[in-house]
Amino acid sequence: MSDLMQTLAASASGMKAQAARLRHVSENIANADTPGYRRKTTPFETMVEAGRTTGMVRAGNVQLDKSELPSVFDPGHPMADESGHYQGSNVDMVIEIADAREAQRSYEANLKMFDQARQMSTSLLDLLRR
Return residues touching another protein (CB under 8 A): 4-5, 8-9, 12-13, 15-16, 19, 114, 118, 121-122, 125, 128-129
Min dist CB 78 to another protein, Å, is 38
Provide the minimum distance between the beta carbon of 71 and another protein in the complex, in angstroms, as a whole number: 40
Nearer to another protein, 42 or 89 (CB): 42
Q: Please state the closest distance from residue 77 (CB atom) to another protein, in A.
A: 39
CB of 55 vs another protein, minimal distance in Å: 14
Pick between residue 16 and residue 38 the one whose CB is nearest to another protein: 16
Q: Say how far apart CA 17 and CA 12 lie, in whole Å.
A: 9
C-alpha neighbours within 13 Å on the C-beta side of residue 110: 20
Question: Three-state DSSP class for 67?
Answer: coil
Task: Give the whole-angstrom CA distance, residue 56 versus residue 58.
Answer: 7
Helix (H) or strand (E) holding 109: helix 93-129
Q: Closer to another protein at the Cβ: 66 or 130? A: 130
Residue 83: Cβ within 10 Å count: 9
